[in-house]
Chain A
Amino acid sequence: MFSRHRYRWTELWLLLLPSLFLLLSLFELLVVHNLKTPVSTNKLPPLDAFTPAFGLIAALFAAHILLVIVAPDSDQTLLPIAGMLTSIGVVMALRLGPDVGQAGLGNKQLVFAIAGLGVCVLTVWATRDLAWIRNYKYTWAAVGLVLVGITLLHAHSFSTNAPSRDVLNIGSGGLSFQPSEILKICLVIFFAGYLSENREMLAASYIRVGPFRLPPVKHLGPLLLMLGLALLTILVVKELGLAILIFGLFLAMLYVASDRPSYIIGAVLAFGIGALAIYNIFPYAQQRIAIVGNAFDPSQRLGAGYQIVQGLIAFANGGVFGSGLGLGKSWIVPFSNTDYIAASFGEEFGFAGILALVGLFMLLVYRGMHIATRAHASFNQLLAVGLTAVFALQTIVILAGNLKLMPLTGMPLPLVAYGGSSLVANYLIIGLLLRLSQEKS
């Protein structure tokens, strides 16, 4: 309404780089295909490689044009960074597809990417007035919890062999999504809405108990209730990584809202007690943690430690500059296209590639925090901080899991890992951040 219309030249220029990456990758895959000594046992049909590469370039530029129309003044680096990460994801899906027995994986990931970019632009357009998001904060929290609740009811009818119970099928068309992806966005909105209204109370008033200063229960109550409900449902779904994500999210937003380190100290203590309780109650948590220590143990090497060890071998095989795209053997890692996408990427692009990947995520987080510092209203600030924290925490949890620094959890690497619901949900977050960056005053 008030914006001066100007063209997003920076974004256009930055988008050329992911396009170049896609074209070069396509070229490399075709060269590898024609090598005399085949590396991969299953060859990629040459024509199948063209659609994902050119399709994603077209989709990125289409999203760019739509953003010029819908939000001309929004941040110009978010789409190129996200586009670069998605390009990596599509190239890896394309490359791994034949080796994991799904030749059309690249095309599927392209469809998810197009859906994600569509959702991103739609979000930017639909949130022109952020007030409706802020006003319905309890509704959002309820929506997230109901979705997870339905999944819980459904979970009983699923086979117990499924790696995760966090799946909701829609209809009979085989369409399914992970409600937890929606839950985390809903929780960010709720925390942002609640904390921005009670910011002063949380920062100023507290009850003194000896040397400790406790926050007023009246104001923290709804927050803790929501947090507890979310964590409880997640424990039933057995997604420990998600529990860490939501708790970390809560801490980050509470600290930014109150500016009080005492909350953080208290929360970390509570986390320690909670983690200890979970460790003692749930045997699968004990297994997950034990495996970090003894993955190479002969008794575990081909059992529970198999995936972790294979992942580390893939990383090691890559060396500094990697084996080259299409020349790795990362399909020896179970779930090399989803949970272990970082290992597949690390093998073929090497340490240099992984470092660049982490750099891209750091820039994404930096831009998110930059948007938060420039936001005017405290709801916008907290929303930007929370959404950025979702990216940061997901990346840390899965990368540390892949590198055997932390118990492995089935959390997708944002924007890169194969999977529709994660990609679409992360693009929804990018869309919200784009909108928040537009609201300068």
Chain B
Amino acid sequence: MDNYQFLLYLRIGLVAILYLVILQVVLVSRRDLRQAEKPATASISTRARQVVGRLILIDSGSTQYKPGQQFDLEPITTLGRAPTNSIVLESSFVSTEHTRILYRDRSLWVEDMGSRNGTLVNQQTITQPVAVSPGTILQVGDVRFEFAAA
């Protein structure tokens, strides 16, 4: 086999590797999409009913809710003015995506989402995720809640 024939095979091999990368990434992407579909369909029935805690409204601020109203907390609960949030607070003091409450390590965590007026836990403005327990007071804009067990 002379050098030029050998080089021809090498050349085809190099281009083949490029296509192999593309094929592999497409396969990985397809697997990602399938995995993303499965938990989504399964979780609608299970996760939707999984209540990890409750919020009781103390001060409704300028929203239309009534004090004493209760909200269920899911593993991820978002609070804000945008209609996409789990708990929608129609108040001009609340940012579109204001606060989120996560259930991790058997505890509830409050995290500010970069809101303009800040998130207050027991009247302290929080700068990083804070673990909370029942009885803690949460203030989002001009709305105040109290945490309660599920």
Q: Is there contact, CB below 8 Å, between A322 and B22?
A: no
The chain A residue with its CB closest to the CB of B7 is: A324
- Min CB–CB distance A201 → chain B (angstroms): 10
Query: Is A123 an interface residue when CB atoms closer than 8 A count as contact?
Result: no
Q: Is there contact, CB below 8 Å, between A24 and B24?
A: no
Query: Is B13 an interface residue when CB atoms closer than 8 A count as contact?
Result: yes
Query: Is A14 an interface residue when CB atoms closer than 8 A count as contact?
Result: yes
Q: What is the number of residues of chain B that contact chain A, defined by CB distance less than 8 Å? A: 37
Query: Is B104 an interface residue when CB atoms closer than 8 A count as contact?
Result: yes
Cα-based distance from A77 to B128 in the complex (angstroms):
30
- Min CB–CB distance A277 → chain B (angstroms): 36
Cα-based distance from A21 to B16 in the complex (angstroms):
9
Q: Is there contact, CB below 8 Å, between A31 and B7?
A: yes
| CB 8 Å contact bits of A84-112 with B (1 = contact, 0 = none) | 10000000000000000000000000000
User: Of A25, A27, A135, A377, which contacts B97 at CB under 8 A?
Assistant: A377
Knowing A356-B18, A377-B97, A378-B97, the reply to whether A80 touches B11 (Cβ < 8 A) is no
- Min CB–CB distance A147 → chain B (angstroms): 25
Contacts of B26 in A (CB 8 A): 363
Contacts of A13 in B (CB 8 A): 24
User: Of B7, B12, B104, B113, which contacts A2 at CB under 8 A?
Assistant: B104
Query: Is B10 an interface residue when CB atoms closer than 8 A count as contact?
Result: yes
Query: Is A197 an interface residue when CB atoms closer than 8 A count as contact?
Result: yes
User: Of B7, B15, B24, B81, which contacts A17 at CB under 8 A?
Assistant: B24
Cα-based distance from A197 to B12 in the complex (angstroms):
51
- Min CB–CB distance B93 → chain A (angstroms): 15
Contacts of A76 in B (CB 8 A): 28
Knowing A31-B6, A370-B29, the reply to whether A200 touches B82 (Cβ < 8 A) is yes
Cα-based distance from A69 to B34 in the complex (angstroms):
27
User: Of B6, B15, B17, B112, which contacts A20 at CB under 8 A?
Assistant: B17
Query: Is A131 an interface residue when CB atoms closer than 8 A count as contact?
Result: yes
A-B CB pair tally, cutoff 8 Å = 112
User: Of B14, B19, B76, which contacts A24 at CB under 8 A?
Assistant: B14
Main secondary structure of the interface of B (DSSP, over half): helix
| B2-57 at interface with A (beta carbon < 8 Å) | 3, 6-8, 10-15, 17-22, 24-26, 28-29, 32, 36
Knowing A129-B128, A197-B96, the reply to whether A325 touches B24 (Cβ < 8 A) is no
Query: Is A239 an interface residue when CB atoms closer than 8 A count as contact?
Result: no
Q: Is there contact, CB below 8 Å, between B28 and A21?
A: no
Cα-based distance from A77 to B23 in the complex (angstroms):
12
Q: Is there contact, CB below 8 Å, between A21 and B32?
A: no
Cα-based distance from A289 to B94 in the complex (angstroms):
50
| CB 8 Å contact bits of A26-64 with B (1 = contact, 0 = none) | 011001101110000000000000000000000000000
- Min CB–CB distance A71 → chain B (angstroms): 16
Cα-based distance from A199 to B15 in the complex (angstroms):
44
Q: Is there contact, CB below 8 Å, between B82 and A325?
A: no
Q: Is there contact, CB below 8 Å, between B17 and A24?
A: yes
Q: Is there contact, CB below 8 Å, between A379 and B114?
A: yes
From A210-218, A347-355, A384-392, A423-431, the one touching the partner chain is A347-355
Q: Is there contact, CB below 8 Å, between A377 and B113?
A: yes
| CB 8 Å contact bits of A162-202 with B (1 = contact, 0 = none) | 00000000000000000000000000000000001101100
The chain B residue with its CB closest to the CB of A32 is: B7
Knowing A199-B96, A200-B96, A441-B76, the reply to whether A363 touches B15 (Cβ < 8 A) is no
- Min CB–CB distance B131 → chain A (angstroms): 12
Query: Is B139 an interface residue when CB atoms closer than 8 A count as contact?
Result: no
Q: Is there contact, CB below 8 Å, between B29 and A349?
A: no
Interface residues, chain B, with chain A CB atoms under 8 Å away: 3, 6-8, 10-15, 17-22, 24-26, 28-29, 32, 36, 76, 81-82, 95-97, 102, 104-105, 112-114, 116, 128
Q: List 21 A-B contacts (CB under 8 A).
A: A2-B105, A24-B14, A25-B14, A27-B10, A28-B11, A31-B10, A80-B25, A81-B21, A197-B95, A321-B12, A321-B15, A324-B10, A325-B14, A349-B11, A352-B15, A360-B18, A363-B22, A363-B26, A370-B32, A378-B97, A441-B102
